[in-house]
Structure 1
Amino acid sequence: MILLNVPRTRRRRLGVAAAAGGLLAALLTAAPAAAIPDPGDAPPASKEMSKSAQAEAREAIAQGEIPAQDEVVHSANIRHVAHVPKDALPGTNSDLAFQGRYAFAGNYDGFTVYDISNPKSPKTVSQVLCPGSQNDISVSGDLLFLSTDSSRSDDSCNSTTQPVTEKSSWEGMKVFDISDKRNPRYVAAVETACGSHTHTLVPEGKNVYLYVSSYSPNAAYPDCQPPHDGISVIKVPRKAPHKAAVVGFPVLFPGEGPDGGGNPGGPTNPGVSKTTGCHDITVLPSKDLAAGACMGDGILFSIKNPERPKVIDRVQDNVNFAFWHSATFNQKADKIVFTDELGGGGAATCNAEIGPNRGANGIYDVVGKGDRSKLVFRSYYKIPRHQADTENCVAHNGSLIPVKGKDIMVQAWYQGGVSVWDFTNSSKPKEIAYFERGPLSTDQLVTGGSWSAYYYNGYIYSNDIAKGFDVLKIDDRRTDPARGVHVRELNVQTQPDYFD
């Protein structure tokens, strides 16, 4: 293990070999994260790299410009306190949720429950086999929710993949009773149009609402017809989850024609995804607000009526954003960080050839009040360390670190690792800590790295696609005040009001 006090600065030419191979041109037409139809639940196939890219990666390791293969490195203010390797679920690790002394980790093959009462020694409590990518996960009280975005033969945990063109195929939301963490019990399923790539909890008293994000309709798909220009809303009675049902499909992008009124994508906007739904939504219930990352559009909307969300403002970035992937409010709700998943999460975009703006976060100020609020772009943020062309790397899932009066975020970057950064000044974001591993391979682009990195009650938890579950501890005067802030439950896409 190597501790580094400052970011490496010699890695500025990584990716030059890719320029000759036309990587940037390929990324401009690359597809976003797999949605419908899904090729199955196996991890993405590795891609053999050119000899020049292989040589460049090995030379960068030899010169100390990047970590050695699978080597752990981090800034001096972060400690790697625990690691739990993958066990019974070999699929792709995905999102995380938290409740009390438990962490819940999604995996394309199901989910794992960890006891994190001692963060330095997490224990596996149970593992549930229930295949269905991407098994985006959240918890509320005694209920756990899983998103299924691959076409299945039925809604059971014994289902197999089946063509999306068959009417009998199933995709949507699964509901589990987790009152007994050692024995989660499958209690309900709700089919949704185009499946459920991700979902967001909107808790409201006796009910839980789920905003289901999905996309990529096709006239040949019986249950995923265009225009798919909104989200499915599911209502789940807490005491009777078996009665969960879709209660609406609010249209967020009204417009004429078969595709609705979202971003048309190419050829009008080359390199930008056409908006046919949303990828992810984050809600801030204390402010009755939500932010949607919707393929070619970013939106701000009101959720005063959770069954009928209302769009307040909408923005596009047709120069540097390829695929609006996720959103995070700051605590005051006067800023939103949108992420761009350039290359769909399976490409090397953290190199010199791609540059600092593409595949980055976009930081927007929320200017004005109520329904007159506007999103105003301020700056981009991308990790300052170049990665090898054998490392998939792009902005991914993160959360606030609750420091009053400051805007600090921890974020996953796949094989770019975990970055802690400060955006208190919207126009001048800066990294203050990081953790990463060296490339999984110097010969092939193998998909791996941190899918989700979240701060929960004093520690940072990361779900690594290929390696497993990591626990980090940050010791820094800028983040130390967060140690005194604890929450009972955390679903990052349902942001708590830490200081209310």
Structure 2
Amino acid sequence: MSSPRRSLIVAAAAAVLALAGVPALAADIPPPDTVVTSPNVSHVLNIPKPAPIAANINTDIAFQGDYAYVGNYGGFSIYDIRNPKKAKPVSSVVCPGSQMDVSVYGDLLFTAVDSSRSDDSCNSTSQSAAIKESWEGVRIFDVSDKANPKYIKSVETNCGSHTLTLVPGKGRDRNKNVYIYVSSYLPAANFPDCAPPHDKISIIKVPLRDPGAAAVAATPVVFPDGGNETQPGLLVPTSGCHDITMFAEKDLAAGACMGDGVLFDISDRLNPKVTARTTDPNFAFWHSATFTNDAKKVVFTDELGGGGAATCNEATGPNRGADAIYEIVNGQLVFKSYFKISRYQADSENCVAHNGSLIPVKGRDIMVQAWYMGGVSIWDFTDAANPREIGFFERGPRAAGGGGGVWSAYYYNGYIYAADFNEGLDVIKISDRLTDGARNVRTDRLNVQTQESYREWGRH
């Protein structure tokens, strides 16, 4: 008979084997709801979802100063993280609308709504996009009072806002405006505000002194001749982008555009230009992108199965539902390798590459990344052709059944914060010679899809 102590010993042994590159067997899958980590990772704290939004899943995270902003299909919550070991919720705003991607800038919080609503209010209800009066897009909140955020403005965008990315202005414009790049997709002929073709993005201009005047300022077409629509195995054909990551100081952006991976020149914030484009027969859905600190590499993720399938298993293999590492050579994308966690998950566990961020280690390329029910992976891709996992955190299958897992896992000022669908917010710490140098790097704002080089951190 297996005892709880023996189960933990088996799980710890599996952790060591995984770090050594030995694939896990079914018997190594952790017991239901059991937290398992590699020896160099510790689980600092779990904060359950606040009651007002507990019935909905957690999604994205943004950071500013001593606070974390966690999106949720039911709204968002603000957490005080001055002492990460005692982090606590400050407030929750009930304002339903998937998927509540978030970015913060000064006193403004931007939230993405990609579910058609009866109107733009926080009291709206679900309503078909086939009805002209339905609303979806971006909501803007004033979060100067963390205990009492105030809803100040909405901007409707075609096909809603599945994700959003904040881009600061340039030069004299830098302190006057910010721009919100809105990614959306899945048009339909019977949707008045989301009809095909929809190979574009929406760009919202937000005057910082008058955010109530925010409005769509441009709708550039990314794929004027159409995107990748016929490749076998695509989750859906390209019809816009899923997510865009900016490296504003380098006037560079990377778009994960469903069936395509692209690079943009964003020197003109309202007129981004595609400079490189690639496809991959192993990719079902280009989901997100992360640049290295020197912008010489970019990691794209593949959300095989749309995040709802059990793809971290032997049958799926190591090259699907994975990350793809590209070097940027003469402005073009050159494929180097794939990375996927080798810790096999149970058939009941939805698992696939999802949202992550760099860990700011000088001279190395190290990333922390969410894998839904595969948990959190810390991996090193300094050698782009030979990436390897160096640490992890995960839970066993849910005792209650059903899917879930970690949506976003980001590094901020010494700790990793992970937004779990069901379990709330986890605070995690890695102690490893490869990552210890990051402890000395600090910033007072982190919107992960708005990358800044480490030398710029702390200058906000």
The aligned runs of 1:62-461 (5 Å cut-off) are 63=27, 65-88=28-51, 89=53, 90-204=55-169, 205=174, 206-255=176-225, 261-265=226-230, 268-271=231-234, 273-318=236-281, 320-368=282-330, 373-441=331-399, 444=401, 446-461=402-417
Q: Secondary structure at the match of 1:482?
A: helix
Aligned with residue 440 of structure 2, among 471, 480, 484: 484
Match for 1:198: what amino acid? T
Taking the aligned partners of 2:76 and 2:190, their CA distance within structure 1 comes to 31
Matches of 2:61 and 2:141, distance apart in 1: 16
Instruction: Specify the code of the residue in structure 2 equivalent to 1:334.
Output: K
Query: What amino acid is aligned across from residue 200 of structure 2 in structure 1?
Result: G
TM-score, normalisation: structure 1: 0.86
Q: CA deviation at 1:239?
A: 1.2
What does residue 16 of structure 2 align with?
6
Tell me which amino acid in the other structure corresponds to 1:120.
K
Residues of 2 paired with 1:127 and 1:7: CA distance? 41
Residues 354 and 439 of structure 1: CA distance in aligned 2, closer, same or farther (over 3 Å): same
Q: 1:428-454 CA distances to partner (integer Å, 9 max, x unpaired)?
A: 000000000000148x5x121110000
* Aligned twin of 2:5: none
Letter in 2 for 1:83: N
* Whole-angstrom distance in 1 between the partners of 2:435 and 2:249: 23
3-state SS of paired residue (2:116): strand
Q: What amino acid is aligned across from residue 415 of structure 1 in structure 2?
A: M
Residue 312 of structure 2 aligns with an amino acid whose one-letter code is C
CA distance in structure 1 between the aligned counterparts of 2:161 and 2:44, rounded to whole angstroms: 34
Q: CA deviation at 1:203?
A: 1.2
Residue 206 of structure 2 aligns with an amino acid whose one-letter code is V
Q: Deviations over 1:366-398 (max 9, x none)?
A: 001xxxx10000000000100000000000000
Q: Distance in 2 between matches of 1:476 and 1:340?
A: 28
Is the partner of 2:195 in helix, strand or coil?
A: coil
Q: Is there any run of 5+ residues in structure 2 with no aligned partner, and where? A: 1-7
Unaligned runs of 5+ in 1: 15-59, 256-260
Q: Percent identity?
A: 62
Q: Deviations over 1:62-107 (max 9, x none)?
A: x4x1100000000010110111012221201000000000000000
One-letter identity of the residue aligned with 1:496: E
How far apart are residue 270 of structure 1 and its match? 3.8
- Distance in 2 between residues matched to 1:242 and 1:309, nearest whole Å: 25
**Matched residue type, 1:164:** A
Q: d(CA) in 2 for partners of 1:108 and 1:218?
A: 23
1:11 and 1:331, CA in 2 relative to 1: closer, same or farther beyond 3 A?
A: closer
C-alpha distance in structure 2 between counterparts of 1:176 and 1:127, whole Å:
12
- Measured in 1, the distance between the counterparts of 2:223 and 2:207 equals 29
The answer to whether the 8 A contact 2:17-2:23 is kept is no
State the 1:269 CA deviation.
Answer: 3.0
- Cα distance in 2 for residues equivalent to 1:181 and 1:173: 20
Question: Is this contact kept in 1: 2:161–2:183, CA < 8 A?
Answer: yes
Q: Deviations over 1:334-355 (max 9, x none)?
A: 1000000000001100001001
Number of residue equivalences: 438
Distance in 2 separating the partners of 1:156 and 1:78? 42
RMSD of aligned C-alpha atoms? 1.5
Is the alpha carbon distance of 1:11 and 1:377 closer, same or farther for their aligned partners in structure 2, counting shifts above 3 Å?
closer
- Is the CA contact 1:390–1:441 (under 8 Å) kept in the aligned structure 2? no
- CA offsets 1:139-195 (integer angstroms, 9 cap, x no match): 000100000000100000000000110001000000000111111000000000000
